[in-house]
Amino acid sequence: MAELVVMLKDKASSYLLDQYNVMEGMEKQHGILKRRLPIILDVITDAEEQAMANREGAKAWLQELKTVAYEANEVFDEFKYEAHRHAAKKNGHYRKLGFDVIKLFPTHNRVVFRQRMGSKLCRILEDINVLIAEMHDFGLRQTWSVSNQLGQTPVSKEWRQTDYVIIDPQEIASRSRHEDKSNISDILLGEASNADLVVVPIVGMGGLGKTTLAQLIYNEPEIQKHFQLLLWVCVSDNFDVNSLAKSIVEASPKKNDDTHKPPLDRLQNLVSGQRYLLVLDDVWSRKVHKWERLKACLHHGGSGSAVLTTTRDKQVAEIMGADRTYNLNVLKDNFIKEIIVDRAFSSENEKPPELLKMVGEIVKRCCGSPLAATALGSVLRTKTSVEEWTAVSSRSSICTEETGILPILKLSYNDLPAQMKQCFAFCAIFPKDYKINVEKLIQLWIANGFIPEQEEASLETIGKHIFSELASRSFFLDIEEFKGGMQNEQYCFRTTCKIHDLMHDILQCLLWERNVSLQLRNHVKLSGFRILLGICSFQVKKQKVF
């Protein structure tokens, strides 16, 4: 909730509103609103704690605040759009489009606009005044966790420069999972003369590093040399046989051109007579008949062919007819400690001994999960006192078989600054395992008003800082950079990333809890409309966002 109100505060404080005088005649209401919002922000944390304690008054107050905040955000989106319209007209963007944009829309009447928006603003102020009165009635207390965020320095100055990855996950995985890698590689290599299809599932709870281990095996030189064809496909929730068969074929450098044939026929032709290794990452489906249909095609491979799968579900392994199920153990404490220390302490700073002593307690919270260690270490990186570390430790539930590491990941999300929460929550619109274009993602953040405007830095620069910080906290993974075509005599580079499936689960929970999926979809439609108009203060130069 705090991030929604902070976003409203940023919109209400935008210098563009004054620069283009779009709130003429509404200056008094505008000033009152900017003074009221910090008062509400000061008590949000206490209201949320009371709501979690099932106090109905606080719950109702937060629900009403959410409604008013959404309405107010929409109003300031209109003000902001009006400012961008002025900017586009002043800078000649209408003429650059090659046609008269004004003809597409009704004539703009500034008097009517002021009357309509003034009325909306007054209604919002009335609602906010009621909320402040009720805030005192409910005895909501001022807290400093959110208030301090209001005094933070601008994004571009506050966040230190971070690389996408502080430690090399492949390097620590190769040391911590060396024995597991050798064991599974031996199984796969030892079946060279087996005429039957070998199925080896790696089973373990989310966040243990099953996919990372599968990558190590896949890239092992002996494995690469032994198998004539290597294929990797992410499966996730959707186990549609035809779609999966098509994905497997498309993943092959030897993919055939008989696109007119059914996907299963194409798959059978691809693997026929080839000793292949197929990795099916993150399998969930328990539909036996679907697996049997796929397996019937895969049986046409050469002797020694194998399917290596990763799954959290032991029943999935049984349904797939696994020859040997490999149950992945938790990571040893010394490796968990290494991850936490590398994440929590910057290499250029001394590691305070009083904080190093507390690492052992944090290690216990992770229960051998490298992702949990990464998440907690990233949270601790912004904490510098024993009191802050103690608070994080007490708030982080110990991983259990039922909850897994989701509570720790939720804690990591809650620790984000408000603007970063909005930016990451927006990513829920992407499906699992979707390869996200980072440059377009940043433009979508900008178009939706999630990035605060500052005169000291461009929105693109601030967006890159936000993405870099989220990536350094492992909210994004599989970050890759590709060289594209030439533009203005320079190569264009494209960056892609994915969201860890557990972090995607967190986003889905947040959307369900807050019921904001409709608002996100409306934002996306609105952003596409703005960009289409060529309102180029975002400097989306000659780049299509969709």
Tell me if 449 sits within 8 A of 149, measured CB to CB.
Answer: no
Q: What mean pLDDT do residues 230-239 have?
A: 86
- When pLDDT is averaged across residues 318-341 and rounded to a whole number, the result is 88
33-43 pLDDT per residue, tens: 988 888 888 88
> Domain end: 362, 393, 413, which one?
413
Q: Does 293 share its domain with 192?
A: yes
316 in the same domain as 391: no
DSSP code for 434: -
Q: Is the dihedral of CA 26, 27, 28, 31 positive or negative?
A: positive
Residue 357, domain member (yes or no): yes
Range of the domain at 403: 333-413
Tell me the per-residue pLDDT of 424-437, one tens digit each, with 9 for 90 and over.
988 988 988 889 99
| Cα–Cα distance measured from residue 501 to residue 205, given in angstroms and rounded to the nearest whole number | 12
Note the pLDDT of residue 218: 95
Mean per-residue pLDDT, 473-496 = 76
| pLDDT of the residue at 161 | 39
Residue of 141 and 219 predicted with greater confidence: 219
| Distance separating alpha carbons of residues 33 and 102, to the nearest angstrom | 32
Share of the chain above pLDDT 90, in %: 29
Please, what is the average pLDDT of the chain?
Answer: 80
pLDDT at 298 over 90: yes
Shared domain check, 237 and 183: yes
- Indicate if 303 and 406 belong to the same structural domain: no
**Is residue 198 assigned to a domain?**
yes
49 and 147 both lie in a single domain: yes
Same domain, 309 and 351: no
| 126/201 same-domain check | no
Instruction: List, for residues 449-473, the tens digit of each pLDDT value.
Output: 788 777 677 889 999 999 998 988 8
Q: Of 97, 117, 151, which residue is a domain's last?
A: 151
Where does the pLDDT of residue 402 fall: very low under 50, low under 70, confident under 90, or very high at 90 and above?
low
Rg (CA), the chain: 27
In a domain, 164, yes or no: no
Are 467 and 542 in a shared domain?
yes
pLDDT digit string, tens, across residues 187-211: 999 988 888 899 999 999 888 999 9
Return d(Cα 163, Cα 148) in angstroms, integer. Answer: 26
Residue 250 has pLDDT above 60, yes or no: yes
Q: Is residue 158 a part of any domain in this protein?
A: no
Does residue 161 belong to any structural domain of this protein? no
Last residue of a domain, one of 413, 448, 483: 413
Q: In this structure, is residue 450 part of a structural domain? A: yes
Assess whether pLDDT exceeds 60 at residue 156. Answer: no
Q: Are residues 318 and 343 both part of a single domain? A: no
Q: What percent of the chain has pLDDT over 70?
A: 80
Band (146; pLDDT cuts 50, 70, 90):
very low
Determine the residue type at 255.
K
Q: What is the pLDDT of residue 444?
A: 93
List pLDDT tens digits, range 514-530. Answer: 554 344 444 444 444 34
What digits encode the pLDDT tens for the residues 95-120? 554 545 444 444 467 788 888 888 99
CATH number of the domain at 458, please.
1.10.10
Is 497 a member of any domain? yes
Inform me whether the pLDDT recorded for 497 exceeds 60: yes
Tell me the DSSP string of 37-95: HHHHHHHHHHHHHHHHTT-HHHHHHHHHHHHHHHHHHHHHHHHHHHHHHHHHHHTTHHH
Model confidence at 337, in pLDDT bands (50, 70, 90)?
Answer: very high
What is the rounded distance in angstroms from the CA atom of residue 25 to the CA atom of residue 430? Answer: 41
pLDDT of residue 482: 79
pTM of the model: 0.71
Question: Would 47 be classed as within a structural domain?
Answer: yes
- Does 147 share its domain with 5? yes
Where would I find the beta strands (DSSP E) of 254-398? 276-283, 306-311, 326-327
**Are 208 and 273 in a shared domain?**
yes
Q: How many domains does the chain have?
A: 4
Question: Which pLDDT score, from 0 to 100, does residue 165 have?
Answer: 41
Q: Are residues 316 and 228 in the same domain?
A: yes
